[in-house]
Amino acid sequence: MTFAIASHVIHGKEGDSFYGYAPYVKEMNIWFKHVDEVIVVAPLQKRRVKSKIDANYSAKRIKMNAVPAIHFTSLFSIIKSVCSLPIIILKLYLAFRKADHIHLRCPGNIGLLGCLVQVLFPHKQKTAKYAGNWDPNAQQPNSYKFQKWVLSNTFLTRNMKVLVYGEWENQSSNIKPFFTASFKSADRINYTEKAYSKKLQFVFVGALVEGKRPFLAIDIIKGLIEKGKSAELQVYGDGPLRQALELYTEELGISSHVNFYGNQPLNNLKLAYQSAHFAILPSKSEGWPKAIAEAMFFGVIPISTAVSCVPSMLDHGQRGILIAPEAKLAVEEIYGLLNQKTELKNKSEKALKWSQNYTIERFESEIKQLLA
Query: pTM of the predicted model, to two decimals?
Result: 0.92
Mean per-residue pLDDT of the chain = 96
pLDDT value, residue 262: 96
Domain 2-181+360-371 has CATH 3.40.50: yes
Whole-angstrom distance, CA of residue 342 vs CA of residue 180:
30
pLDDT value, residue 207: 95
Cα distances (angstroms) measured from residue 223 to each of 172, 216, 245, 326, 329: 45, 10, 16, 11, 10
pLDDT value, residue 192: 94
- pLDDT of residue 52 exceeding 90: no
User: Where along the chain do the CATH 3.40.50.2000 domains lie?
Assistant: 189-355
DSSP 182-222: ---GGG--------TTSPEEEEEES--SGGG-HHHHHHHHH
- pLDDT of residue 76 exceeding 90: no
User: What is the band of 49 on the pLDDT scale with cuts at 50, 70, 90?
Assistant: confident
Q: Contact, 234 vs 262, CB < 8 A?
A: no
Q: Quote the CATH superfamily of domain 189-355.
A: Glycogen Phosphorylase B; (3.40.50.2000)
